[in-house]
């Protein structure tokens, strides 16, 4: 692993350790996520998955048009890997109590994550590659803990397939993403720019998690969790 990949991996590892005790995960471990909060989370994932697909396609065609064959192939492969993932979230939402998701729009920070993808691509395709590697590695590092916490709130893995399926899908290639970084990076942009994009993604993700927490803490409904509702 080169200095680039090693530096980025260490930065993500250190940040993930902090997230293991994030307000959202701690709230879930205490059983404090309401159906409304979970529905907002799934609604946001559905929109983010859809927008990520569009952004990956845009990155693929942009790299192809610029003659960057290796980058174009990377993004083309990612489009194939991510195809249809928004359906997992849609299916999960259909199993929720009807009132839980009524009138919900995606959380603002989840929309900012999709916008950040576009901004990183515009800055340099490698900045978007770093974002993808971060997202996949994060999913694998925290996925099982997050799923265990959701189960405390009454949402077993089958009820949140948008998470559980993603964790399983990313296990095989999350760490390999750092090797791909080494293969694709030609020295531009510099490490500082790549780290800046990574930090922006991490901050926005934290804001998204905080928005889910706020909905849970303000929610006074008495909707029954999915497992109990199905009895």
Per cent of the chain over pLDDT 70 is 94
Q: Report the distance separating Cα 44 and Cα 49, nearest Å.
A: 9
| DSSP H/E element including 32 | none
Say yes or no to pLDDT of 221 above 80: no
Q: Report the distance separating Cα 92 and Cα 39, nearest Å.
A: 9
What confidence score (pLDDT) does residue 42 get? 97
Domain range summary for the chain, segments of one domain joined by +? 3-221
What confidence score (pLDDT) does residue 98 get? 79
Q: Report the distance separating Cα 112 and Cα 135, nearest Å.
A: 15
pLDDT single digits (tens) 133-173: 999 999 999 999 999 999 999 999 999 999 999 999 888 88
Q: Report the distance separating Cα 165 and Cα 85, nearest Å.
A: 9
What confidence score (pLDDT) does residue 102 get? 87
CATH 1.20.910.10 fits 3-221, yes or no: yes
Provide mean pLDDT across the span 108-124. 97
Q: Report the distance separating Cα 131 and Cα 194, nearest Å.
A: 9
* The model's pTM: 0.92
Say yes or no to pLDDT of 5 above 80: yes
Q: Report the distance separating Cα 125 and Cα 82, nearest Å.
A: 18
Q: Report the distance separating Cα 24 and Cα 149, nearest Å.
A: 10
The alpha carbon dihedral of 107, 110, 114, 116 has a sign of positive
């Amino acid at each position: 692993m080169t200095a680039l990949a090693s530096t980025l991996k260490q930065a993500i590892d250190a940040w993930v350790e902090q997230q293991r005790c994030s307000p959202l995960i701690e709230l879930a471990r205490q059983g404090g996520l309401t159906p409304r909060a979970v529905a907002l989370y799934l609604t946001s994932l559905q929109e983010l998955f859809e927008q990520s697909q569009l952004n990956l396609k845009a990155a693929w065609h942009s790299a192809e048009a610029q003659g960057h064959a290796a980058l174009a192939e990377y993004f083309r492969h990612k489009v194939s890997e991510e195809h249809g993932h928004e359906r997992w979230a849609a299916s999960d939402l259909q199993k929720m109590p009807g009132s839980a998701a009524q009138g919900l729009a995606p959380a603002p920070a989840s929309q900012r994550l999709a916008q950040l993808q576009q901004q990183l691509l515009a800055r340099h395709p490698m900045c978007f590659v770093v974002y993808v590697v971060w997202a996949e590695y994060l999913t694998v590092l925290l996925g099982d803990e997050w799923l265990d916490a959701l189960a405390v709130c009454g949402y077993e893995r089958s009820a949140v397939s948008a998470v559980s399926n993603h964790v399983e899908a990313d296990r095989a290639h999350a760490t390999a993403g750092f090797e791909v970084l080494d293969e694709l990076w030609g020295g531009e942009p510099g490490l500082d720019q790549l780290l800046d994009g990574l930090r922006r993604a991490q901050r926005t993700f934290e804001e998204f998690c905080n928005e889910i927490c706020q909905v849970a803490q303000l929610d006074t409904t008495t909707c029954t969790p999915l497992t109990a509702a199905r009895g």
